[in-house]
Amino acid sequence: MTKLQKDWIHVVKLLACGENDFLSNVWTVSKSESARVAPGLFPPELIIQIKALACEIPAIHNVPLSRWTAADLGRYVRQSGISATISDSTIWRWLHEDAIKPWQYRSWIFPRDPQFAVKAGRVLDLYERVWNHDYLKEDEYVISADEKTSIQARHRIHSTYPAIPGSAMKVEHEYKRCGALAYIAGIDVHRGKVFGRCEQSTGIAPFDRLVNQVMSQSPYREARRVFWIVDNGSSHRGQKAVDRLKDRHKNLVLVHGPVHASWLNQIEIYFSIIQRKVVTPNDFPSLKELEQRILNFQQYYEQIAKPFEWKFTREDLNKLLKKINRNNFSQLQGNA
């Protein structure tokens, strides 16, 4: 009996996929049953068929699920008559061989801007200090800017306890809302210099104040050109924003990224650092203290900051778009 339990434990380690009903089935699998459904006893065509099934949405097969698990696949395969004897553990092992994990998913936004490649290419070129196929001069700079909206100040109803040996920091779950502010910031992508200000809300006037804050100081005031990379938010959208800022700062070139492509804007990396290191956990008794913490961190960050090591190039962009177009074409063929 002891030897049999060892075999059970070995199988469980292979099948750690996080699903209770799946793991409960595994406990009943003995070594003799595992040998009976060994991969060599199944034809290669069946293995290919099940892997292809795992790469399809369950609803296509009238299964009321949003995504497959190994147990759900096994149940469907046996009930549909594809294979009456196959076990969930065997299916999981086959999927594991090709790193197929249909129980996992991630959100993404499909490129919908008709000029996605052109706009994204311009941004990626600027990160490599290129504009219209020419390298930027030493007195030309690139600023990535955006707004982090609605940062709340949450005052916990009990004081936060710092970490102690053997115990993590403790933060009270309940809180009182003390308002919210917007953090508008820009980063010189090649120098690591950060500029930012806190405002009551976002809008044209607050964004223009950030622009004036940057463009009124050296070396940007005397620069040949200063490229500002922004998204398509209402504070700096379209040709009106281009003309407005150009009238105020003759050396400013506003560059819009594609719609729904904030991942191309390096300021978002800095905002994620703010979120992790300053805003989380959120325990601020007032908006004033939240604002002071953000601005103090900005100064702190500049002491240790280095330009981000951006590796996604125009060549990578072209490969990505080709892959998306190829997959989209395959899906269209499948739906025809």
Q: Output 4-8 pairs: Cβ under 8 A, ≥24 positions apart.
A: 4/30, 4/31, 7/31, 7/34
Res 107: pLDDT: 85
Cα separation, 132 vs 136, whole angstroms: 10
Model confidence, pTM = 0.75
pLDDT in the model for residue 108: 78
- Asked if 301 and 194 count as a contact pair (C-beta separation under 8 A), the reply is yes
- Residue 176 neighbours by CB distance under 10 Å: 10
The pLDDT, as a whole number, for residue 2 is: 37
Which pLDDT score is estimated for 32?
A: 37
Of the options 3.30.420.10, 3.40.1080.10, 2.70.70.10, 1.10.150.450, the CATH number for the domain spanning 116-161+171-313:
3.30.420.10
Q: pLDDT tens, position by position, for the chain (336 residues)?
A: 333 333 333 333 334 344 444 434 433 433 334 334 444 579 999 999 999 999 999 999 999 999 999 999 999 999 999 999 899 999 999 999 999 999 999 887 788 888 999 999 999 999 999 999 999 999 999 999 999 999 999 999 999 999 999 999 999 999 999 999 999 999 999 999 999 999 999 999 999 999 999 999 999 999 999 999 999 999 999 999 999 999 999 999 999 999 989 899 999 999 999 999 999 999 999 999 999 999 999 999 989 889 999 999 999 999 988 888 876 645 544 444
Strands (E), the chain: 130-131, 134-135, 140-156, 175-188, 194-199, 225-230, 252-256
Question: What DSSP designation does 251 have?
Answer: T
Report domain extents, the chain: 2-97, 116-161+171-313
Q: What local confidence, expressed as pLDDT, does residue 40 receive? A: 52
How many whole angstroms separate alpha carbon 89 and alpha carbon 87?
A: 5
Res 111: pLDDT: 82
- CA 22, CA 74: separation in Å to the nearest integer? 10
